Amino acid sequence: MAMIPELFMRPERLWWLVLIPILIGLYVVLIQRRRNRARSGVGIRGLEKVLPKQQAWKRHIAVSAAILALAALNVAFAQPKGEVMVPRDRATVVLALDVSRSMTATDVQPNRLDAAKAAAVEFVNLMPPGFNVALVRFAGSAAVVVPPTTDHASVTAAIENLEVAPSTAIGDGILAALDAMAQAPPDPNRPDDVAPGAIVLLSDGSTNSGNPSAAAAQQAKDQKIPIYTIAYGTDWGYVESNGQRQRVPVDHYELQQIANISGGKKFAAGSSAQLKEVYSSIAHEVGMVKQSQEVTEMFAGIALLFAVVAALSLASLAARWP
């Protein structure tokens, strides 16, 4: 009972629901009286002319739908609240891209890096205009390429100009992303409010230099910034090194660990098409937020639906009346 005020704006109006069991009980009594009269044979012939026996199920549907419509209408009258997904009007998203040499593998056409660039550009274009977007690149070291900005065109231009470098320092990439997040400009209308933030990190390998990624992910968690990781590539990818093929499989475990520690989510993509789908899913997650709102209209619509069913059942019964 203590939760009712949190679910309804006018919980005291729910007392009208006591009419529902009363109406059900009244209907059951009337049905029982009709059955008793049928057994005794009193007035049964006239009643059968009005409501033939084979139409009883329609009568039950009409009454049930009417009672359910009344119940839904009463719930709507109490002004219920529910959690709905609504678009954010403001957030900061840091896109951290792995540009290590393993990203030149051609298991994803034309290669991992070029395909990742194209998908990243589409991802940035999916961001609402009011979102700040930043770009971080990492290989053996990490750097903030573009600080948080609503000028999304400058971010897409920087993405297209990324170049490969040796080694992979995922932990440094996360720390650089946190530095970028701290540079997000305040909302001029609400300067004291901290905008929600998220890091989207794409990599195909495992850390082989720099800070441990787990420790960096813990810092992100401490700052309440989730990291959405994307394991990009296949297990049979390779690069040429000194005339020999060197396999560069994706390290799913490390990227899963980063997501788990930070409170984010791990995705995997083995093709450019899959990567675009992943980016679209992440864009939806970071672009939407659960918010408690009045959902009276939903229950009013349910009530209308049951009322229509009741009306159709009654119309069908009326068509059989003499």
| pLDDT score recorded for residue 57 | 75
The answer to whether 105 and 111 are in contact (CB under 8 A) is yes
Backbone CA torsion sign across 117, 123, 125, 131: negative
The token duo for 75 is 């719930």
For 245, the 3-state DSSP assignment is strand
Strands 132-138 and 142-149 turn out to be antiparallel
The token duo for 87 is 């678009």
Distance CA 192, CA 183 (A): 15
Domains of the chain: 4-80+295-320 (no CATH), 86-291 (3.40.50.410)
| pLDDT score recorded for residue 4 | 43
Strands 92-98 and 197-203 turn out to be parallel
| pLDDT score recorded for residue 12 | 84
The token duo for 142 is 């990490």
Average pLDDT of the chain is 85
CA 285 to chain centre: 5
CA 26 to chain centre: 45
Give the side-chain half-sphere CA count within 13 A for 51.
15
| pLDDT score recorded for residue 114 | 95
Strands 132-138 and 238-241 turn out to be unpaired
Indicate the pTM of the whole model. 0.69
Give per-residue burial for 114-140: e unless 16+ CB within 10 Å, then b: bbbbbbbbebbebbeeebbbbbbbbbb
| pLDDT score recorded for residue 218 | 97
Distance CA 219, CA 216 (A): 5
| pLDDT score recorded for residue 62 | 85
For 188, the 3-state DSSP assignment is coil
Q: What angle do CA 34, 35, 39 make, to 5 degrees?
A: 120
The candidate with the shortest Cα–Cα distance to 271, out of 228, 230, 227, 229, is 230
| Distances in whole angstroms, Cα of residue 263 to Cα of each of 108, 193, 218, 257 | 29, 22, 9, 10
Q: Which stretches of the chain are DSSP H helices?
A: 4-7, 19-40, 44-50, 56-77, 112-126, 152-160, 170-182, 213-222, 252-262, 272-287, 296-320
pLDDT < 70: residue spans in the chain: 1-6, 38, 40-55, 84-87, 89, 188-195, 289, 291, 317-322
Q: Terminal CA-to-CA distance of the chain, rounded, Å? A: 50
